Amino acid sequence: MIHVLDGSFAASISNDHALASGLGSARRTPEAPMRIATIMLAAALAAPAAAEDRNPACEPGMLVFDASGSMKGTRIENARIATARVLPALTAERNVGLITYGGEAGPECGTIRLQLEPAPNNGPAIQAVINAIAPQGRTPLTEAVEQAAALLGGGKRRAVIVLVTDGEENCRGDPCALGQRLRRAGGRLKVSVIGYRLRISESSALSCLASETGGLFVEVSETDELAKALQDTLGCPPVSALPTADQKARFAVRRP
């Protein structure tokens, strides 16, 4: 991060540089080394400020996006509008990557693609991929989420996955069983599921995946609802909402 110095501080640095280098007719004064040391100390103390400004609750995340045939027409169009609305702000706070399934010819259950690994400000790159999607193929969502989980540490590290899908698994995967495996692997990875215009019969296994990992299961049918669901699942909690050290100590669970 580049820190912009105010005018007086910049002038002080410029003057002290001339004093330290001995250029021109300026004579080094006894105070110059002290002033230079003070400025160097101030710069050193300012450097960690950027790290302190980062939200400690904003662990890396993956968006797993449904590009299967059922997302054709208004569904993919509305999804593009929703992601364009919220991704720039979300990815300014959280490092987010993208996995898609479907969207290309070939083996219908073999179209899972790692499009982007988590990185800062990935919003425009993620949006470009979503804008280029031509929905087709089936829905191997379980394997897609499993690949995202492996990239994020397999449940052993704090991270989030958000699955956006408009249909149930149809490539022999078991979302609920995957959720149970991730919980047993460490339980530090949360998988949230946004079900877009799901049928009632399609909700059970997806809800189980979310509940087993401590994530959210949100059903939406409109563009505004999808945008809000993305905000709720991928957004970072404000620093002011995080528990203090004293609160953590008071509410810690003590095991025998």
Measured CA to CA, the distance from residue 91 to residue 67 in angstroms comes to 21
Beginning with the edge strand found earlier in the chain, give each strand of the sheet holding 189-196 in spatial order. 113-119, 96-102, 61-67, 159-165, 189-196, 217-220
pTM of the model: 0.74
Which residues fall within 8 angstroms of residue 128, CB to CB, at 6 or more apart?
Answer: none
* 211 in Cβ contact with 176 (< 8 Å): no
- Percent of the chain's residues with pLDDT above 70: 71
Look at residue 104 in the predicted model and tell me its pLDDT: 87
The pLDDT of 61-89, averaged and rounded, is 98
* DSSP E strand boundaries for 50-158: 61-67, 96-102, 113-119
**CATH number for the domain running over 61-236:** 3.40.50.410
Q: What's the confidence (pLDDT) of residue 68?
A: 96
Paired tokens of 185:
């692997």
- The domain limits of the chain are 7-53, 61-236
pLDDT reported for residue 185: 94
Look at residue 169 and tell me whether its pLDDT is greater than 80: yes
Determine the Cα–Cα distance for residues 162 and 174; give it in Å rounded to an integer.
17
CA distance 248 to 144: 35
11: CB partners within 8 A, 6+ apart: none
Query: What amino acid is encoded at 31 in this protein?
Result: E
